[in-house]
Structure 1
Amino acid sequence: MARDTERLAQGLRDWLPRGDRITGVTTLSAGHSNETYLVEGLDEVLRMPPSEEGLLPPYDMVRQHQVLSAVAGSAPQVPLPPMLELCADPEVLGDPFFLMGKVSGEAFEYSVPDWLATDPVNGAERVCRQWFDAVMSLHTMPVAAMPAGRRTVQEEAQHWLDVARGAESMPVLVAVLEDLAQRPPRSSGPATPVHGDPKHGNCLWDRGRLTALLDWEMAQISEPLLDLGYILMFHDQGEASLANAGFELPGWWSPERMVAEWEKGTGRTAVDVQRYAVLGQAKVAAIISVGAHLFNSGRIADPRFQAFGAVLPAYVGLLERRAMTAG
């Protein structure tokens, strides 16, 4: 990151009425897109766009704040940090930003935390139960409460096809997305709010209690099976991904259980769900392609983006096999 945290601290001191209590700003996560910082002295979290080129432009802080505020008001079963001030003026800190209350918890996706490893049956059941309850609460939230912004399934596939082409992606990935854009999966019913990236790695856990579902920059109004398919594609990834810790646990829900619970909780039928899983995986492959392209073209030096290039062939190989099976 290119930001000067002391400059952030001073800017917040000058802008916030309670700014005199700020003792400093430290980095929490650079993410692969948005950045988060701990505002020390207030115990609050600052969220900003990336300080360098990121994976998923544009970075609309105003809309993210609107989405989080809407979900907090209309789907209270979805655990979120308390939403605080929004600043759309880039002169204050260099970019628009918003503040959130800090919540306890840790995220995991590359390795299982100790509290879960020691309780792999009942603990995994509780994790999946809370996670799916949160996602299903979003899918049953009133559409009118969600800020504007929607895509059909066909438009979603076309969007990621355009992303993949712009990143000079592997031909197999482009071919899969072309097929999905030309023959989109069937719909389960009217559009609902969707998260866009509802993986378990975007959840915060306080020793088994879900305290927050994070990273809402891709939230929109669309087909909720986009979220379910995205979650399902983390099953059986093998060496193509290291970001699915927990899926191997005996108490973790199987794909069949996930589908059954989602259908029961939403009152919908998971039609064409395997093709939605393929679309979810193609979406991730397109994002990985962007990261690799940014690094290889010299536009960003983040070593994580360099690693994307190494995993991409195996990931796209798995995508091709799944696409052939899904039809």
Structure 2
Amino acid sequence: MSKINEEMALRLTAALQGMGQQGEVHGLRRLSGGANMETWSFDWQSGEAKEPLILRRLPSGGTSDEGDAHKLDIETEAKVIGAAVKHGVAAPKVRLVLNETNDLGKGFVMSRERGEALPNRLLVDAQYAAAREKLAFQCGAELGKIQQVPLDALPAGLPDNSGDAMLKRLRAMIDQYGAASPVHEVAFKWLQDNAPASTQKVLVHGDFRMGNILVDEQGLVAVLDWEMAYIGHPAADIGLMCANVWRFGSPLPVGGFGVYEDLLSGYESVTGTRPTMEEIRYWQVVTTLGWGLVCLMMQDMYRSGKDRSLERAAIGRRVSESEIDLMLMMEGNL
């Protein structure tokens, strides 16, 4: 273990012991991925008992997470996860929210669940063939459970993107980044003209898709990465998961692994209702327009020199994909 890791392990040990937990940190290592958050894996050893845990924190132990206005701060995300778990949602259990006395930056410690999250493995490997057969139903049921979390159980300050709030957010992004794309303007007008009538408000995960769910050979294990959660429309998460950008090149509409009927049957098994295909298409367009604007933002960051990484350039050049998807979706052909 490097000196930096040894120092972190000592600080983590002190933080957990400060919660009345007897034990020490073993096997601390940083996991790959995570452009916005660092993810560290370790075991909490207490006598013969060993508990697998995860530390999620701001990069390099940072203490300010104000870089993205659309993402929750660390403390709020941890509270949302806690509320979801309390009401039966399959998500990691939060063990500790860090504070300034821990000298580890902003972050939290949660349970480390077993499973796979990488789409290229989950969509192809024979190991997960049986899981793929039932995953769409399971995801629908889990989305239903998320929506059963009472709004008064959620932390204060959770964004409310119901009504026209989401359109205002997209309009602001278009005005900042979207001048080069007439297709995005047309899509925004389409959203204005086709807004769903439902006024029901529910907890929305905000990024429910392959890559943010953990799966094993039996299917769905846990829902990860709640930093985009908000209060909004019941069909929002369903539309996001079924948008073409999150099908990873597969012809299957639900996350690249399933069909609408299975997803909606799972959702209905929990909620007793199901959204219309028109509502789902609306939120597919919202997702795709939002993704196209993210691509423009990445393009701008690369061209301006703020971030010359290959990742920014690669994502930035995908604007045209969002335009093609939007035109097909607005015509009902995707």
Pairwise same-fold verdict (TM > 0.5): yes
1:163, distance to aligned residue in structure 2 (A)? 2.9
Please tell me the residue identity of whatever aligns with 1:107: A
In structure 2, the residue matched to 1:296 is 303
Q: d(CA) in 2 for partners of 1:204 and 1:83?
A: 16
How far apart in 1 are the matches of 2:27 and 2:110?
Answer: 16
Unaligned runs of 5+ in 1: none
* Counterpart in the other structure of 1:22: 25
Matches within 5 A, 1:191-210: 191-210=201-220
Q: Give the match for residue 48 of structure 2.
A: none
C-alpha distance 134-227 of structure 1, shift in aligned 2 (>3 A): same
CA contact (8 A) 2:131 2:216 kept: no
Aligned partner of residue 84 in structure 1, secondary structure: strand
5 Å-filtered alignment, 1:262-273, equals 262-263=267-268, 265-271=270-276, 272-273=278-279
Counterpart check, 1:163 vs 2:168: no
Structure 2 CA distance for aligned equivalents of residues 283 and 303 of structure 1: 21
* Alignment size in residue pairs: 311
| Residues 325/285 of structure 1: CA separation in 2 closer, same or farther (3 Å cut) | same
Taking the TM superposition and a 5 Å limit, the aligned residue runs for 1:77-96 are 78-89=89-100, 92-93=103-104, 95-96=105-106
The two structures, once aligned, show a CA RMSD in angstroms of 3.2
SS, match of residue 16 in structure 1: helix
- The answer to which of 304-313 and 264-273 deviates more is 264-273
In structure 2, distance between residues paired with 1:314 and 1:181: 19
Q: Work out whether residues 79 and 212 of structure 1, in 8 Å CA contact, stay in contact via their aligned partners in 2.
A: yes
Deviations, residues 265-321 of structure 1 (Å, cap 9, x unaligned): 423352432112111211222223333332332223442222102322223222233
Report deviation, 1:195: 0.6
CA distance in structure 1 between the aligned counterparts of 2:184 and 2:58, rounded to whole angstroms: 28
Cross-structure match for 2:79 = 66
Partners of 1:169 and 1:310 in 2: CA distance? 16
Task: Write the letter of the residue equivalent to 2:79.
Answer: Q
Could you tell me which amino acid in structure 1 is paired with residue 315 of structure 2? F
Cα separation, 2, equivalents of 1:169 and 1:25: 46
Matched residue SS, 1:39: strand
1:65-97 deviation digits (Å, cap 9, x = unpaired): 1000000112x1x2111210112328712x311
2:146 is aligned, of 138, 148, 162, to 138
Work out the percentage of aligned pairs sharing the same amino acid: 22
| Distance change (3 Å), C-alpha of 1:15 and 1:253 | closer
Distance 1:160 1:248, change over 3 A: closer
The residue number in structure 2 matching 1:258 is 263
- Please tell me whether the aligned partners of residues 142 and 267 of structure 2 are also in contact (alpha carbons under 8 angstroms): no
The AA in structure 1 aligned to 2:39 is T
Whole-Å separation in 1 of the counterparts to 2:80 and 2:143: 15
Distance in 1 between residues matched to 2:331 and 2:73, nearest whole Å = 36
Structure-1 separation of matches of 2:315 and 2:42:
31
The answer to whether the 8 Å contact 2:190/2:330 transfers is no
Quick check: 1:195–1:220 contact (8 Å CA) kept in 2? yes
Structure 2 residue aligned with 1:36, among 39, 42, 61? 39
Secondary structure in 2 aligned to 1:22? strand
Task: Find the aligned partners of 2:155 and 2:290 in 1 and give their Cα distance.
Answer: 23
Deviations 1:188-233 (A, max 9, x none): 3420111111113211112233221101111122111111111221
Q: Name the CA distance, whole Å, in 2 between partners of 1:91 and 1:252.
A: 42
Alignment of 1:264-283 (within 5 A): 265-271=270-276, 272-273=278-279, 274-283=281-290
